[in-house]
A and B are shown apart, each in its own frame.
Chain A
Amino acid sequence: MKLHTDMQVVRIHDYLWEIPPSEKPGMLVPARVYASPAILAGMDRGVFDQVTNVACLPGIHRYALCMPDGHWGYGFPIGGVAAFNLEDGIISPGGVGYDINCGMRLIRTDLSRSEVQPKLELLMTELFRRVPAGVGSRGFVNPTRRDFRDVMRQGAAWCIAKGYGWDEDLERIEERGCLDGADPAHVTDYAIERGINQLGTLGSGNHYLEVQVVSDSGIFDRPTAAAMGLTGRDQVVVMVHCGSRGFGHQVASDYLKVFEKAMRRYGISVHDQQLACAPFRSPEGQDYFSAMNCAANTAFANRQVITHQIRNAFEAVFGESARRLGMQLIYDVAHNIAKVERYGDGEWLVHRKGATRAFGPGSPELPACYRAIGQPVICGGSMETGSYLLVGTDQAMQDTFGSTLHGSGRTMSRAQAKRAVRGDQLLRDMKHHGILVKAVSMSGLAEEAGFAYKNISDVVDTVDHAGITKKVAELKPIGNIKG
């Protein structure tokens, strides 16, 4: 098999591959890549270079991991997972990503496609109006600086207290939508000024709001799907993909500068400037962790405000309350984050960068409604091909620090995609295939064409076969909002 690397890649099984520490000077642990043979062969050189760079970072535990949706990223590859010793390990913004707590949220409804289809144009127009997207978009919340500091500390709970959601939403958000240790004192004014008007906005790039359908044949595990509120029968659900917007990006940029200096102070050298890091227990490491938690909480709040607006849009279009429409939250997961988590007899700082927490059944961190079945995992695909709902497993707890994939992963650059198709043509093609798109930017739409991504079914099958998450349901798009 021809790979985009000269390094030795050893087969563990058909869906897991290992690069031994002998392949790069400084590797402290092996690097492991979850991929089918075909996905592995298609992975870009950056995956192999970057996951082995991660394996060199101080305090890394067991493996540097990359999921099957992996591709080149800044510092860590997208799809990267690594756990570090709390006492002598590091924390790295490059292991979290610029869009701190970028994540996925899935909301169920009792509506069927046949009920929604006649009003789909009106529904998408209403959603497009209520959930601002694209360059420079601003939300309706208009928090004061004092409010925004409360958002940083309280996350989704701040929104619930303001009436932007239901009390029961909180238990269905990772960490109940609020990470401890968020202190706004560690956030710059620049970050606050970039983020204060963006609550309730989607952004652009690969972020989206999608109306989807779950067919009977799209359910792989009926009892688990039912426990998550999915019954099939062309049931309509709504998926949201976005994060902490400019606020999180500014936090990451601010601390990359801090860490470049800190590395010299602590005598840390890295293979890539974007892997700038500091000891977790150092003042710089703790300050970043606190600021990162502020951004993560703001992202939870952002998705909560968007949920509020989605419910309002459905109420306006269907003339029923969101509760009568059965619009409960299924789950909300982060896929750009670093968190202290317990595995075995120790605690580790787990970085997930384009990777999702996937806790298995019995995990005490899960709400009662999911403790018996495992954590819902929301995997977003391209806007043309659909998405998946999966569930965490015991094997993930043993092998991947309770982690799995986050999406399908790009295979084509944005510029290549724009050369291959015009946005307005893609809009017409998607409408012809039953997907109604509302987009702020036609060039931005073309960049997100389905052919620019890996086949999501192949990617999801990899983690299913590897056992680190199991498929629950396939979600097919009928409406999409892009920035």
Chain B
Amino acid sequence: MPGHFRFIDDIALADMAFDAEGDSLPALFDAATRALIESLADPSTVAQTWRQAVDLEAPDIETLLFEWLGRLVYFKDAQGVVFHQATLSLAPTFDQPGWGLHAALTGAPVNASTQDLRSDVKGVTKHLYTVTHEGGTWKARVVLDV
């Protein structure tokens, strides 16, 4: 089942926050990724002329999601792009305890005349940041600084 997300109003007055959840870790990561991508621009207006493969490892899921979302913000500024989609896979790391992520990210250079641009997210914060696994559902709460 695909994960889903919703933006929430009442916990970050000047910024943005979302809850993401899924019945698996890939579904959670996919939902959180879509939330961030849609914060930046309507992905249906963003072509797929820019591609980037990403490999990340972290000692735990919470850190991996935080680092991954932060990497999207980095590409937005460093490459001057917004995103269409990300295809993700997750797996435990072999050499040491932890998790690895492989992502194929697509998008296009920012173009205000063809893309529906939204908020220039400056970063992912640790404010109220949580990743939980309860009753078979993975959930994350993320506050974005804009």
| Complex interface: chain A residues within 8 A of B14 (CB) | 71-73, 78, 205-206, 410, 414
Q: A286 CA to B122 CA in the complex, in Å?
A: 24
Per the 8 Å Cβ criterion, residues 127-158 of A in contact with B are 134-138
B123 within 8 A of A: yes
A441 within 8 A of B: yes
Q: C-beta contact mask, A388-414 vs B, less than 8 Å → 1, else 0? A: 000000000000000000000011111
Cβ of A274 and Cβ of B127 under 8 Å apart? yes
Q: A25 CA to B21 CA in the complex, in Å?
A: 36
A204 within 8 A of B: yes
Cβ of A195 and Cβ of B12 under 8 Å apart? no
Q: C-beta contact mask, A39-58 vs B, less than 8 Å → 1, else 0? A: 00000101000000000000
Per the CB 8 Å criterion, the residue count for chain B at the interface is 37
Chain B residue nearest to A248 in the complex (CB): B122
| Complex interface: chain B residues within 8 A of A253 (CB) | 70, 123-124
The stretch of B22-30, B97-105, B112-120 that contacts the partner chain: B112-120
Q: A197 CA to B77 CA in the complex, in Å?
A: 8
- What's the minimum C-beta distance from A120 to chain B, rounded to whole angstroms? 21
| Complex interface: chain A residues within 8 A of B126 (CB) | 256, 273-274
| Complex interface: chain A residues within 8 A of B40 (CB) | 135
Q: A274 CA to B7 CA in the complex, in Å?
A: 21
Q: A414 CA to B143 CA in the complex, in Å?
A: 13
Cβ of B77 and Cβ of A195 under 8 Å apart? yes
B132 within 8 A of A: no
Cβ of A203 and Cβ of B120 under 8 Å apart? yes
Chain A residue nearest to B112 in the complex (CB): A440
Query: Which of the residues B13, B15, B74, B118 comes within 8 Å of A441, measured between beta carbons?
Result: B118
| Complex interface: chain A residues within 8 A of B145 (CB) | 74, 98, 249
| Complex interface: chain B residues within 8 A of A272 (CB) | 127
- What's the minimum C-beta distance from B93 to chain A, rounded to whole angstroms? 20
Q: C-beta contact mask, A442-463 vs B, less than 8 Å → 1, else 0? A: 0110010000000000000000
* Tier of interface size on chain A: 35 or more
Per the 8 Å Cβ criterion, residues 4-24 of B in contact with A are 7-10, 12-16
Query: Which of the residues A197, A205, A274, A410 comes within 8 Å of B120, measured between beta carbons?
Result: A205
Q: Which of A44, A203, A411, A441 has the most CB of B within 10 A?
A: A441
Query: Which of the residues A135, A198, A274, A413 comes within 8 Å of B41, measured between beta carbons?
Result: A135
Query: Which of the residues B10, B118, B125 comes within 8 Å of A413, measured between beta carbons?
Result: B10
Chain B residues packing against A (C-beta within 8 Å): 7-10, 12-16, 40-41, 70, 73-74, 76-78, 80-82, 109-110, 112, 116-120, 122-127, 129, 145-146
Cβ of B9 and Cβ of A413 under 8 Å apart? yes
- What's the minimum C-beta distance from A79 to chain B, rounded to whole angstroms? 11
| Complex interface: chain A residues within 8 A of B125 (CB) | 74, 98, 274
- What's the minimum C-beta distance from B82 to chain A, rounded to whole angstroms? 6
- What's the minimum C-beta distance from A374 to chain B, rounded to whole angstroms? 29
| Complex interface: chain B residues within 8 A of A444 (CB) | 117-120
Q: A71 CA to B16 CA in the complex, in Å?
A: 15
Query: Which of the residues B15, B70, B73 comes within 8 Å of A414, measured between beta carbons?
Result: B15
Cβ of B120 and Cβ of A136 under 8 Å apart? yes
| Complex interface: chain A residues within 8 A of B109 (CB) | 136
Q: List 23 A-B contacts (CB under 8 A).
A: A71-B14, A74-B125, A74-B127, A98-B125, A99-B122, A136-B110, A136-B117, A138-B80, A190-B78, A193-B78, A194-B77, A197-B77, A197-B80, A205-B119, A205-B120, A205-B122, A245-B77, A250-B74, A273-B129, A413-B12, A414-B119, A441-B118, A443-B119
Q: A246 CA to B15 CA in the complex, in Å?
A: 15
Q: Which of B14, B125, B126 has the most CB of A within 10 A?
A: B14
Cβ of A250 and Cβ of B118 under 8 Å apart? no
Per the 8 Å Cβ criterion, residues 309-359 of A in contact with B are none
Per the 8 Å Cβ criterion, residues 233-273 of A in contact with B are 245-246, 249-250, 252-253, 256, 272-273
Cβ of A440 and Cβ of B77 under 8 Å apart? no
A416 within 8 A of B: yes
Query: Which of the residues A135, A195, A246, A411 comes within 8 Å of B119, measured between beta carbons?
Result: A135
Q: A412 CA to B7 CA in the complex, in Å?
A: 15
Given contacts A98-B122, A135-B76, A256-B126, contact A440 B12 (CB under 8 A): no
